[in-house]
């Protein structure tokens, strides 16, 4: 399974999926036919998670070909990423607590067996190897994997979320962290997801039979409560000459960039990351950054050391908001250290959509038609 490294190729993949496969999405989307047969899903998440193409761009292209009622499920699934981002923006402590929790968790023998695919559960072992080899797993399989990790291997959900982030090309602070919390029963308190042998057998096309799983386990509990916090960012018209862009917000096509003297694309190394990424993941990020670098003469690529040096000379930047996660945490630290003046730029589509992330996805889903209408996506 090979993921392309350019925006042009990502758009070609989208076009192919819309024209050839999307009408089968509802009936086939839950099947995992293996890494060599992914036609039943679009596999666009590595590009969307970096905003090489955006959720709104995908939705608009899909709805230019099909009426909403015919592709409603696909549109709803695309919007999960927008919802999760908004949910975490409104509750940023969930991310900081997750990172803090990881510091106290040990990597014992059971953990090492799990991450090396040496458990007694063959399907799980296969998925570990597939994840490491392809840096991707089918969404349904991610749910099974997380459930087995938590409720059968009795490992901390935080270490599972970390393991995914290390290896996934589409690793995203919001989607990944909150999905693991949902499986554990923490996101919607008391409602967890339990992998079941019949379900795995059916949706892997009878590949795995006679799986022995714990299928009657209580959800995890966490006494911590997370109240809504206002999104506190500066959104001002700016005459700034310098723009910061992190690797998870690479969509430059739909922005007014000609007025910037310098556009800095930033990829943090593992020296400053709280979760250390595998080399293949960092390489993937650098390759898509270099693809975007070709578009404008004023683009320069920086790591955190070069950014820190730059911050000693320049104190005022526009920033495409990198969202809660590694990038935003690092940026916040150097803002305080160097007393930077940052003007955050947030897509209007995100700003409008995130207001519906204050509750569960059902509420958000009911507002998708409003979002589509507001931005003339349908």
Per-residue pLDDT 10s for the chain (378 aa) are 789 889 999 999 999 999 999 999 999 999 999 999 999 999 999 999 999 999 999 999 999 999 999 999 999 999 999 999 999 999 999 999 999 999 999 999 999 999 999 999 999 999 999 999 999 999 999 999 999 999 999 999 999 999 999 999 999 999 999 999 999 999 999 899 999 999 999 999 999 998 999 989 999 999 999 999 988 777 666 778 999 999 999 988 767 777 899 999 999 999 999 999 999 999 999 999 999 998 888 999 999 999 999 999 999 999 999 999 999 999 999 999 999 999 999 999 999 999 999 999 999 999 999 999 999 998
Residue 202 has which token pair? 């059916």
340, 316 contact by CB (below 8 A):
yes
Find all residues with CB under 8 Å of 378, minimum gap 6, and list them.
63, 68, 369, 372
Q: 199 phi and psi, to 5 degrees?
A: -70, -45
Cα separations (Å) of 267 from 31, 202, 290?
34, 41, 11
Distance in angstroms between the alpha carbons of the first and the last residue of the chain:
32
Q: 203 phi and psi, to 5 degrees?
A: -90, 5
CA 213-103-117 angle, to 5 degrees, is 35
pTM for this model (two decimals): 0.96
Q: 């999405």: which residue's tokens?
A: 25
Residue 188 has which token pair? 């919607």
* Burial class for 181, CB neighbours closer than 10 Å (0-12, 13-18, 19+): buried
Distance (Å, rounded) from C-alpha 376 to C-alpha 378? 6
Find all residues with CB under 8 Å of 94, minimum gap 6, and list them.
88, 177, 178, 181, 226
Residue 116 has which token pair? 């090396």
Residue 367 has which token pair? 């507002």
Distance (Å, rounded) from C-alpha 328 to C-alpha 317? 14
In the chain the domains, ranked by start, together with CATH numbers, are 7-89+353-374 (1.25.40), 102-203 (1.10.579.10), 242-345 (3.40.50.620)
Count CB-CB contacts under 10 A for residue 36.
7
Find all residues with CB under 8 Å of 265, minimum gap 6, and list them.
245, 246, 247, 250, 289, 292, 293, 299, 300, 301, 302
* Burial class for 299, CB neighbours closer than 10 Å (0-12, 13-18, 19+): buried
């Amino acid at each position: 399974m090979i993921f392309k490294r350019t925006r042009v190729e990502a758009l070609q993949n989208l076009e192919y999926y819309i024209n050839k496969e999307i009408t089968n999405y509802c009936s086939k989307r839950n099947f995992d036919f293996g890494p060599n047969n992914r036609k039943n899903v679009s596999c666009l998440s590595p590009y969307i998670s970096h905003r090489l193409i955006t959720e709104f761009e995908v939705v608009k292209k899909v709805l230019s070909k099909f009426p909403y009622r015919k592709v409603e499920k696909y549109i709803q699934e695309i919007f999960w990423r927008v919802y999760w981002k908004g949910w975490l923006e409104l509750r940023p402590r969930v991310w900081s607590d997750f990172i803090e929790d990881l510091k106290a968790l040990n990597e014992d023998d059971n953990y090492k067996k799990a991450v090396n695919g040496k458990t007694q559960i063959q399907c799980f072992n296969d998925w570990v190897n597939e994840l490491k080899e392809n840096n991707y797993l089918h969404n349904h399989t991610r749910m099974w994997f997380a459930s087995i990790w938590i409720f059968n291997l009795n490992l901390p959900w935080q270490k599972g979320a970390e393991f995914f982030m290390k290896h996934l090309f589409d690793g995203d602070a919001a989607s990944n962290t909150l999905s693991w919390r949902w499986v554990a029963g923490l996101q919607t308190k008391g409602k967890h997801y339990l992998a079941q042998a019949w379900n795995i057998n059916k949706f892997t096309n009878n590949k795995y039979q006679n799986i022995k799983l714990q299928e009657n386990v209580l959800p995890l509990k966490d006494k911590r409560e997370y109240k809504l916090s206002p999104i506190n960012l500066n959104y001002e018209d700016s005459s700034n000459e310098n723009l910061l862009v992190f690797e998870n917000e690479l969509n430059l096509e739909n922005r007014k960039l000609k007025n910037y003297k310098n556009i800095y694309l930033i990829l943090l190394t593992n020296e400053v990351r709280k979760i250390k990424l595998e080399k293949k993941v960092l390489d993937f990020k650098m390759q898509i950054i270099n693809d975007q670098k070709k578009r404008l003469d004023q683009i320069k690529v920086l790591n955190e050391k070069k950014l820190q040096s730059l911050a000693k000379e320049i104190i005022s930047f526009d920033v495409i908001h990198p969202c809660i996660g590694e990038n935003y945490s690092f940026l916040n630290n150097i803002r305080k250290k160097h007393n930077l003046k940052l003007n955050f730029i947030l897509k209007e589509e995100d700003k409008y959509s995130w207001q519906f992330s204050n509750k569960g996805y059902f509420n958000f889903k009911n507002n998708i038609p409003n979002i589509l209408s507001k931005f003339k996506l349908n």
